[in-house]
């Protein structure tokens, strides 16, 4: 059922909706304006058109945001730090020398050099962990090196004719060689064992003194770092 709009003052080109009174409110029925009887517009059509227009605006906005968030081309993986590259090259050089070695003695020498280099790298790595400047490192490094060598004695690939570097190494070798014999005498074992224990006790005392000397130039945080690394007790 169509209602007649009583508003005769409607301007040209506008659509008159029914007054808010009457049974046609909210029903979506067509309303005919008296001034323009041929322009009948459904509320449902007007609201639907507005909804589609708003959806189009929102979709366009979302599309624009999506396009902006598209990731660019992936960057190639970076090169490892220079220090890591140098260590890799050094390790490759040792491996190449081992392949080209002509004798067992030469291989043992190369292995000793490689182990010494690795031990030095382990000590140098502590500089960054301790947060030391170059000037501080020059004071602390000798004390730290002494402690490291006592805590981690070097065990080089020694030949029969190469002498040990410390008394403890000497006593350790003597005791091992004696125990390799078929039937060593009890007195011989006792003598070598006593010498070995004395050398170990002496090394422990040296370690205690070296640790005390190192603590004198350490703050509490640095002591904790070295304790975690097994260098301080």
Span 27-62, pLDDT tens digits:
444 444 444 444 444 455 444 545 544 545 444 444
Contact 141, 134 (CB under 8 A): no
Residue 224 in any domain: the answer is yes
111 vs 80: which has the higher pLDDT: 111
Long-range contact pairs involving 37-44 (C-beta distance under 8 Å, separation at least 24): 39/15, 40/2, 41/15, 43/17
Distances in Å between the alpha carbon of 176 and those of 6, 169, 172, 184?
122, 11, 6, 11
Judgement on whether residues 184 and 88 belong to the same structural domain of the protein:
yes
Judgement on whether residues 91 and 36 belong to the same structural domain of the protein:
no
Residue 68 in any domain: the answer is no
Residue 71 in any domain: the answer is no
Listed residues 38, 56, 74: the one ending a domain:
56
Judgement on whether residues 97 and 208 belong to the same structural domain of the protein:
yes
198 vs 156: which has the higher pLDDT: 198
Domain of residue 102 covers 82-228
């Amino acid at each position: 059922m169509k209602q007649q709009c009583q508003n005769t003052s409607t301007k040209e080109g506008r659509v008159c909706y029914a007054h808010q009174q009457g049974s046609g409110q909210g029903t979506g029925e067509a309303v005919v304006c008296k001034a323009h009887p041929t322009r009948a517009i459904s509320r449902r059509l007007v609201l639907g058109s507005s909804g589609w227009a708003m959806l189009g605006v929102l979709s366009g906005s979302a599309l624009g945001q999506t396009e902006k968030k598209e990731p660019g081309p992936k960057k190639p993986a970076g090169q490892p730090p220079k220090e890591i590259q140098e260590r890799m090259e050094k390790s490759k050089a040792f491996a190449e020398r081992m392949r080209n070695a002509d004798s067992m003695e030469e291989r043992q020498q190369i292995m000793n050099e490689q182990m010494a280099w690795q031990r030095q790298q382990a000590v140098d790595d502590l500089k960054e962990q301790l947060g030391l400047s170059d000037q501080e490192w020059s004071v602390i490094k000798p004390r730290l090196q002494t402690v490291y060598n006592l805590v981690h004695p070097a065990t080089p690939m020694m030949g029969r004719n190469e002498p040990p570097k410390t008394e403890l190494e000497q006593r350790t070798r003597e005791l091992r060689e004696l125990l390799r014999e078929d039937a060593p005498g009890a007195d011989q074992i006792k003598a070598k064992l006593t010498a070995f224990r004395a050398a170990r006790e002496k090394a422990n005392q040296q370690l205690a003194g070296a640790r005390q000397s190192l603590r004198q130039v350490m703050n509490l945080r640095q002591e904790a770092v070295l304790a975690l690394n097994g260098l301080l007790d």
